Structure 1
């Protein structure tokens, strides 16, 4: 059972890193239902892992690592079911009261296309791209993923090239 300090720490982390959880979950899933399921799993794993946090890494780094490891494990375990499932077309309502609703819709479409492309990357590359999109330094990315900074640079450049191809609509075999 967690003590009050650990509970407070967890709630602070959740406030600071809640968007990260959703971002990671979204990159590893196809539907909003799966995204919510994975986000819940990430939070559960973080909660259960909190007593093992040794404070050797920054809390945000540790939280990100738990999120990415949980997402990769969840993805691997759930892959057989999802390989037989087709994602449903998700319709998002466009705000009618905004003048820039067409621009917002285009932005939403670009973001959706980006997440679909990220979902096609090998999962370690997807994790690296998410860290990059969160503007973490190479040092921070290396710490989260447990690889060298040089390896981060090499892998990130390769992932960006593949992502660029995917965004242009070209297929890529990992």
Structure 2
């Protein structure tokens, strides 16, 4: 593959799938600087991985795999240097965006951020309509494990939403 061909594929995929990448970036990093850093890491990994794409999965599935794996590695590396146990320290960053976001969406991203890396990945894939089989394939776990984890995540989110919206917590 020539560098020109690689560049063409890269530009095409980023143009078609940048929303997917932004969704993962937002779920794994909250400050603007961290989001920029993680976005850079993901697109670098995509660039380097293009020559190894074998068309065994769809481009979307493959990009999810690269993006999620990069985000998980980045999170582990960053947590060694930054220890924020909750979002109170970065809440002002979420409110500084010029585009007004629905408070329910902000709440959902906050709760997704609190999940461990695998549960966070499962949640994002599920929200994008991936099947249990596809999620299992992307993350390297069994379909039954995906089902169990999804049920636990749903119960967690339902419990948290009831506390948040009905009790003002």
Q: Tell me the residue number matched to 1:148.
A: 142
Residue 156 of structure 2 aligns to a residue whose secondary structure is: helix
Per the alignment, residue 89 of structure 1 pairs with 92
Q: Write the distance in 1 (CA, Å) between the matches of 2:49 and 2:76.
A: 20
What is the number of equivalent residue pairs in this alignment? Answer: 160
Question: Is structure 2 residue 119 aligned with structure 1 residue 130?
Answer: no
Which of 142, 153, 159 does residue 153 from structure 2 map onto? 159
- The answer to whether the 8 Å contact 1:2/1:51 transfers is no
Aligned to 2:43: 43
Q: Which residue of 2 aligns with 1:119?
A: 113
Task: Please provide the CA RMSD for this pair.
Answer: 2.3
SS at structure 1 position matched to 2:29: coil
Distance 1:118 1:44 in 2: 25
Partner residue in 2 for 1:28: 28
Q: Which has the higher helix share?
A: 2
CA distance in 1, matches of 2:125, 2:6: 25
* Residue aligning to 2:14: 14
* Corresponding residue SS for 1:74: helix
Separation of aligned partners in 1, 2:25 and 2:91: 17
**Contact 1:121/1:163 (<8 A) preserved:** no
CA distance in 2, matches of 1:87, 1:17: 27
TM-score, normalization by structure 1? 0.81
Q: Partners of 2:96 and 2:12 in 1: how far apart?
A: 31
CA distance in 1, matches of 2:132, 2:54: 22
The 2-side partners of 1:58 and 1:49 are apart by 14
